[in-house]
Structures are given as structure tokens and as C-alpha cells.
Amino acid sequence: MGEEKKRGPKPRVSDEEILQVFRQSADPVLTASEVSTELPIKRRSVYDRLVQLEEVDTLESKKVGGRTTVWWLPNYTSTSTTDRD
């Protein structure tokens, strides 16, 4: 007989776990889809949490297309910037 889907409480992810995805990423900006691939929750749930984190000034965002939003840590500073003379 086939395996049935597991039932029970939905996985919980803390704000800190979401922020850790940003801190560990080589890319300074991430989409909700990119964040969701690193966590055990669906993209829509990640998106809702990213909006909440932005409302409390923990993240910043920008729409970069018709339906695409990118998110980043506000205090992110690139270590690969070059000086211009």
C-alpha cells in the first residue's frame, strides 16, 4: 500500500531562520521563491512572512517586474564593491 501524506501541525519557521537564509546567501537580494527553497514552508507563506519582516523594518524590498519582488537585509554591504576614481 502507498504511503499516506503526513498529517499534523504545519512546520514552523522562526523569523531568525528566515533572516539566516539572507545572511548565508552569496546573493544580496532574494525572491520569496529562493527563500522558500531553503525552508520547509511554501512560497506563499514565505512571502507573507517577508512582508511582515519589512513592516517592522527588518527587511527591505523592491518590485523588479510585473510580479517579482526582491528582498534584502537593510544593513547589507557588499564586500565586492570597487572604488571609482
In this prediction, residues 38-66 reach a mean pLDDT of: 96
How many residues comprise the chain? Answer: 85
| Identity at 19, one-letter amino acid code | L
| Identity at 45, one-letter amino acid code | S
* d(C-alpha 13, C-alpha 35), whole Å: 12
* d(C-alpha 71, C-alpha 1), whole Å: 44
What pLDDT score does 11 carry? 65
Tell me which CATH code domain 15-72 carries.
1.10.10.10
In this prediction, residues 56-74 reach a mean pLDDT of: 95
What pTM value is reported for the model? 0.76
What pLDDT score does 75 carry? 80
In this prediction, residues 38-49 reach a mean pLDDT of: 96
